Every structure is written in C-alpha cells, then in structure tokens.
C-alpha cells in the first residue's frame, strides 16, 4: 500500500468507519487492530465536540451535556469538517438546528446558535482601523453628504425574534436564565468588538436602518434621507449626527471615505 493510499484509508476509517485499513494494522496482546484504530477515531470526534463546546457555551448550558452531545454527533454526521482549521467548523450550526429534527421543535435553539456564532465572528475578526473624532473634523461640511462609512470588520448585524441575548448574558453572568420567549416582532441587534472584548446591544428601528445602510456602503446623505421615514428633516440630520458620534465612540466605524 502506497503512502497516499494509506493516508486515504486512514481518513476513511476516521470519518466513515471503513475497515480497509484494518488488515494493515498490527494488533498486540492487549489490544487488537480495531481497538488501536478506534483510539484515533474517538480522539478525532472528541476534538470536534470540544470545538463546538467552545463556540456554543450557552447552547450547551441550555441543552445540558447529554442533549448537547447528541446534537454534536448529529451535526458532525451532517457537516463533517472540511477545513484545515476548526475555527469554521460550527458555522452551519444555526442552519442545522433550524432544519433538522428533532431540533426544529425548539426554534429558540437555532437563534441562540446564530447569536453565539455572531459573537465568534466578531471576536475573530481582524483588528483593522477604527475611525476617530479627528477624522470627522478633517472633512468639510459640504462634503459630508458624500462620505461613506466603512464598518469595522467585527460588526455583526442580527434581527432576532427570541430573547437569546438575555439568556446568553444570564448564563455568562452565572445567573438563572429567563425562559425562552418569542417577541411579536423582530428586533435589531449589533455585535462588535473593542480590543479583546465583545459588546452587543439592541437597536431602535431607525438605527437598525441606518446601520444596515452603512453596511451596504450608502453615503451619509442617503442615510439622512432614509431617516425621514421616522422624523422631519432637521431631526433626521440631528439623529444621523448623533448616530455617527455613537458609532465612533463604540468603534463601529473603521474608516470615513470620500469618492
């Protein structure tokens, strides 16, 4: 058996339980060939489980260890790791929970997983640049309608129907979490990172619109015009300026650009 064939046979045993490799493995007095190979197969799955436990701490706490272990097994079967880094392994968890039985009976789970994965994405995003107040002062007032605000790489936008953030925070604070509760409408949330700390907060409807417009690359003037849906022109301009100040303080803006 060539080295390539040996590697492929080992992979197929680890991933699919194919036993073509068994004939090439020598047993011992204490352990037969199958038991020796099983050590590697078990270690591989345990490492995948550990990666999911790390990324979905609150989901695991909500489900309990036994149910979470069953979830991991089902997820690994449906979404085998196909990347050299485990960083990406849990990226399908929310979609899996939303589409696979029996997890579809608890729609809160998919949203909690979505929220936790957004926190992972925010934390792992590149540092990048952060716009500062002096960047604002350097732009002439007449040019502001054309300014495009590039978001910081860590910014994540979610619309959530369930109280996943409240459950997440209670578990992290080691407090009794509230029961899952669904609101009568979606609520906007933003997640971002400053330094090594993640932050998140709910968004008023007009800020959710403005932040989405920034993420789409719309100019400041277009954002001001869009705010007219909720207020008159003077208040829209004032609100847009206030949002810009808030976003700069929070570190949501990576760069101010002019065409």
Tokens of 139: 């732009």
Please tell me the predicted confidence (pLDDT) of residue 244. 97
Task: Pinpoint the alpha helices (H) of the chain.
Answer: 3-16, 33-55, 57-63, 65-78, 93-99, 107-124, 133-137, 164-172, 205-216, 220-226, 233-250
pLDDT tens, residue by residue, 131-190? 998 999 999 999 999 999 999 999 999 999 999 999 999 999 999 999 999 999 999 999
Q: What is the pLDDT of residue 13?
A: 59
Q: pLDDT at position 25, please?
A: 60
pTM of structure: 0.87
Backbone φ and ψ for 215, nearest 5 degrees, come out as -65, -30
Q: Which residues contact 118 (CB under 8 A, 6 or more apart)?
A: 156, 158, 191
| 121: nearest Cα among 171, 169, 155 | 155
Distance CA 106, CA 98 (A): 8
Token pair listed for 259: 């065409």
Beta bridge partners of 5: none
Which residues of the chain are modeled with pLDDT < 50? none
Phi first, then psi, for residue 4 (nearest 5°) are: -60, -45
C-alpha span between 10 and 128 (Å, rounded)? 41
- Six token digits for residue 77: 């079967």
Ordered DSSP codes for 15-39: HH---TTGGGS---SS--HHHHHHH
Q: What is the pLDDT of residue 226?
A: 97
């Amino acid at each position: 058996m060539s080295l390539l064939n040996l590697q492929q046979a080992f992979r197929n045993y680890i991933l699919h339980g194919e036993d073509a490799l068994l004939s090439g493995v020598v047993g011992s007095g204490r352990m037969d060939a199958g038991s020796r190979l099983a050590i590697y197969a078990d270690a591989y799955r345990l490492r995948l489980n550990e990666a999911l436990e790390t990324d979905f701490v609150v989901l695991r706490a909500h489900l309990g260890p036994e149910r979470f272990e069953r979830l991991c097994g089902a997820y690994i079967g449906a979404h085998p790791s196909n990347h050299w880094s485990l960083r990406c392994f849990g990226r399908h968890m929310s979609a899996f929970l939303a589409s696979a039985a029996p997890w579809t009976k608890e729609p809160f789970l998919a949203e909690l997983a979505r929220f936790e994965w957004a926190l992972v994405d925010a934390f792992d995003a590149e540092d990048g640049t952060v716009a500062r107040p002096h960047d604002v002062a350097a732009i002439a007032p007449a040019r502001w309608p054309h300014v495009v605000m590039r978001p910081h790489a860590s910014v994540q936008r979610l619309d959530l129907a369930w109280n996943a953030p409240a459950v997440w925070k209670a578990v992290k604070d080691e407090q009794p979490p509230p029961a899952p509760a669904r609101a009568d409408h979606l609520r906007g949330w933003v997640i971002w990172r400053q330094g090594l700390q993640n932050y998140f907060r709910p968004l008023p409807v007009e800020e959710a619109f403005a932040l989405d417009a920034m993420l789409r690359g719309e100019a400041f003037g277009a954002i001001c015009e869009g705010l007219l849906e909720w207020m008159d022109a003077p208040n829209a301009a004032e609100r847009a300026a206030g949002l810009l100040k808030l976003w700069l303080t929070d570190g949501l803006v990576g760069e101010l650009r002019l065409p």
